[in-house]
Amino acid sequence: MKSIRELKQDQYDYIYKYYSYIALWKPYSYRKIKTVVYVNVCAVLIQLFLKLKIRPNAVTFMYLLMGLLSGVFLAIPSQKAVLTAVLLLYLRPFLDWADGPLARELKQTSITGDILDSYGAYLGWAALWVGMGIYLGRTVHHLFYILCPLSPFFFAVDIYSIARQRFIYHYLSKNELQEYNASYAGNKQESADVIGNDLRKSKLTLLKNKIDAIFEHNARTIDIICLLLVIEIIFSVSILWVYYLSFLFWQAYIFIMRLLILYRGGWAEEELNRLKITVHARSDLYKDDITIGKN
């Protein structure tokens, strides 16, 4: 059995191989901090799961169940129940981070596990916002009872994004994606800047990146929600409703923009072709940098 140090190194190797943007993109600086926390804690959890012979899909199922329970406890009119929801919300991501490395360690990676992980995230996330809507309806205004069904609706619509991302991921070979990440994380940052300059010029794109970072549920959002819930209980103030409404408005905006984009027709094909060109261009630049460095 591998040591905790070896398990940590395996996680870092995987993260920076396929998700190297975490190390560079400024809006994800908070995620970088949380990554260090997750990796260290999950190394201990993975070793424990290996000793107990717990399967990866069982860990993913526990992750899904904790998400559903957090929404249920938020809906219960009790401070203890809300604090229990906070605890579940804060601990839940550790299981999400542990199931993948555990599956790779046991060589039990599968499409089923991948789908279970993605849908577990969205089911738990939708349950959280529904439970939060019920909590706010009870503590702030009954209007939130009406608004909370919008959350699962938006998440159901968002599932199409998962399918699209999976399609693009499997359409392009892993080698191309690896080269794309390597070029993005290469020492010559100018190469990536040249290719992505058209995206960075757009103020709307920059704004979207910043808002996405705020609502990035794998790192920052869960911590913000937990903090606001604790503040509300301790100081008897109502501030979570502002965050809740901001999230709903942002999801509504994304939904409307997607309708407009799909109305154009042929957008998905254009985006896939553009992504392929970008991947190959960045890979070529990365190879040129390596060649120059050797010379």
Secondary structure letter of residue 149 according to DSSP: T
Contacts of residue 295, defined as CB under 8 A and 6 or more positions apart, other chains included, come to none
> What letter represents residue 143's amino acid?
L
Alpha helices in the chain (DSSP H): 4-18, 29-52, 56-75, 79-106, 111-139, 143-147, 150-171, 174-184, 189-195, 197-200, 203-214, 220-235, 240-264, 267-294
In angstroms, the CA 133 to CA 152 distance is 11
Q: How confident is the model at residue 271 (pLDDT cuts 50, 70, 90)?
A: low
Q: What is the pLDDT of residues 222-233, one digit of tens each?
A: 888 999 999 999
- Residue of higher predicted confidence among 16 and 107: 107
Query: What mean pLDDT comes out for the span 43-67?
Result: 92
Vertex 121: Cα angle to 120 and 127 (nearest 5): 90
Domains of the chain, start order = 4-171+202-264 (1.20.120.1760)
- Percent of the chain having pLDDT more than 70? 63
Contacts of residue 230, defined as CB under 8 A and 6 or more positions apart, other chains included, come to 83, 86
Vertex 191: Cα angle to 186 and 195 (nearest 5): 125
In angstroms, the CA 6 to CA 34 distance is 19
In angstroms, the CA 246 to CA 56 distance is 35
Chain-centre distance for alpha carbon 90: 15
Q: What is the pLDDT of residues 240-258, one digit of tens each?
A: 999 999 888 888 887 787 7
pLDDT score, position 158? 66
Q: How confident is the model at residue 36 (pLDDT cuts 50, 70, 90)?
A: confident
In angstroms, the CA 30 to CA 233 distance is 25
pLDDT score, position 135? 95
Please tell me the least confidently modeled range out of 8-17, 123-132, 148-157.
148-157
Contacts of residue 149, defined as CB under 8 A and 6 or more positions apart, other chains included, come to 130, 133
In angstroms, the CA 51 to CA 46 distance is 9
Q: How confident is the model at residue 115 (pLDDT cuts 50, 70, 90)?
A: confident
In angstroms, the CA 254 to CA 261 distance is 10
In angstroms, the CA 23 to CA 17 distance is 11
pLDDT score, position 1? 76
Q: What is the pLDDT of residues 145-200, one digit of tens each?
A: 999 888 888 777 766 565 555 555 554 444 444 554 555 445 444 444 444 444 44
pTM: 0.72
pLDDT(136) > 90? yes
In angstroms, the CA 135 to CA 137 distance is 5
Q: How confident is the model at residue 28 (pLDDT cuts 50, 70, 90)?
A: low
Q: State the chain's mean pLDDT as an integer.
A: 76
